[in-house]
């Protein structure tokens, strides 16, 4: 098995447009999808059929504007892939993000291209990088992957 990990230099913004959230109606997994061009954010639950659409307007520091942030923020919904780990919170925006973290945490050898200080991996809290947390984190990830 190849444990080398090639950092694909993802940024959080690469994952934020489609976010897995907890459906406010049936509490199952729903999807929040932001369309920054159309300035709308759509919530779709395939389990119960709940859906709604909001604008991507947010008020920050008293200024109302179209901000580009993670899709669930506009809907004010909790993330589906989120769980506590020790005194920290482990989370991922969506399955692709979760799998990316799994790949990173599971890798024994890590390669980084030129550091930009903006990628997902470089922004992670310290506990993600701590090799003594590896097994526990992988367990959490596998639990989240099978969450229903
Ligand atoms: Zn639902």
- Sequence length of the chain is 148
pLDDT at residue 28, as a whole number: 97
Tell me: do 136 and 87 sit in the same domain. Answer: yes
Tell me: do 33 and 66 sit in the same domain. Answer: yes
Look at residue 81 and tell me whether its pLDDT is greater than 60. Answer: yes
Ligand 1 centroid – CA 135 distance (Å) = 32
Tell me: do 56 and 110 sit in the same domain. Answer: no
Tell me: do 115 and 138 sit in the same domain. Answer: yes
pLDDT at residue 113, as a whole number: 60
Tell me: do 57 and 104 sit in the same domain. Answer: no
Tell me: do 63 and 117 sit in the same domain. Answer: no
Report the distance separating Cα 38 and Cα 40, nearest Å. Answer: 5
- 20-65: pLDDT as tens digits: 999 999 999 999 999 999 999 999 999 999 999 999 988 888 888 8
pLDDT at residue 10, as a whole number: 87
With bands split at pLDDT 50, 70 and 90, how would you rate the model's confidence at 6? confident
Report the distance separating Cα 37 and Cα 2, nearest Å. Answer: 40
Tell me: do 54 and 102 sit in the same domain. Answer: no
Q: Which CATH number is 39's domain given?
A: 2.20.25
Look at residue 144 and tell me whether its pLDDT is greater than 70. Answer: yes
- 86-140: pLDDT as tens digits: 999 999 999 999 999 999 898 866 666 666 666 788 778 889 888 899 999 999 9
Ligand 1 centroid – CA 31 distance (Å) = 10
Tell me: do 9 and 37 sit in the same domain. Answer: no
Residues with CB under 5 A from ligand 1 (ion): 23, 25-26, 45, 47-48, 50
Tell me: do 99 and 125 sit in the same domain. Answer: yes
Burial class (CB in 10 A: 0-12, 13-18, 19+), 45: buried
Number of domains in the chain: 2
Ligand 1 centroid – CA 57 distance (Å) = 24
pLDDT at residue 100, as a whole number: 93
With bands split at pLDDT 50, 70 and 90, how would you rate the model's confidence at 146? very high
Tell me: do 28 and 56 sit in the same domain. Answer: yes
Tell me: do 100 and 70 sit in the same domain. Answer: no
Ligand 1 centroid – CA 79 distance (Å) = 14
Question: To 10 degrees, what angle do helices 95-106 and 134-145 make?
Answer: 160
Look at residue 1 and tell me whether its pLDDT is greater than 80. Answer: no
Q: Which of 53, 75, 97 is the last residue of a domain?
A: 75
Tell me: do 116 and 128 sit in the same domain. Answer: yes
Domain range holding 140? 4-14+81-145
With bands split at pLDDT 50, 70 and 90, how would you rate the model's confidence at 5? confident
Report the distance separating Cα 105 and Cα 14, nearest Å. Answer: 19
% helix, strand, coil for the chain, step of 5: 30, 35, 40
């Amino acid at each position: 098995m190849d444990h080398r990990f090639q950092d694909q230099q993802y940024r959080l913004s690469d994952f934020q447009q489609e976010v897995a959230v907890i459906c406010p109606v049936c509490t199952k997994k729903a999807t929040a999808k932001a369309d920054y061009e159309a300035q709308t954010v759509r919530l779709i639950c395939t389990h119960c059929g709940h859906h709604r659409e909001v604008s991507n307007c947010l008020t920050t520091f008293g200024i109302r504007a179209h901000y580009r942030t993670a899709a669930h923020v506009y809907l004010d919904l909790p993330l589906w892939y989120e769980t506590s780990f020790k005194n920290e919170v482990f989370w991922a925006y969506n399955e692709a993000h979760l799998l990316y973290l799994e790949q990173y945490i599971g890798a024994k050898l890590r390669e980084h291209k030129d550091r930009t200080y903006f990628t997902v991996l470089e922004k992670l809290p310290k506990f993600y990088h701590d090799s003594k947390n590896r097994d526990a984190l992988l367990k959490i990830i596998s639990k989240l992957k099978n969450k229903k």
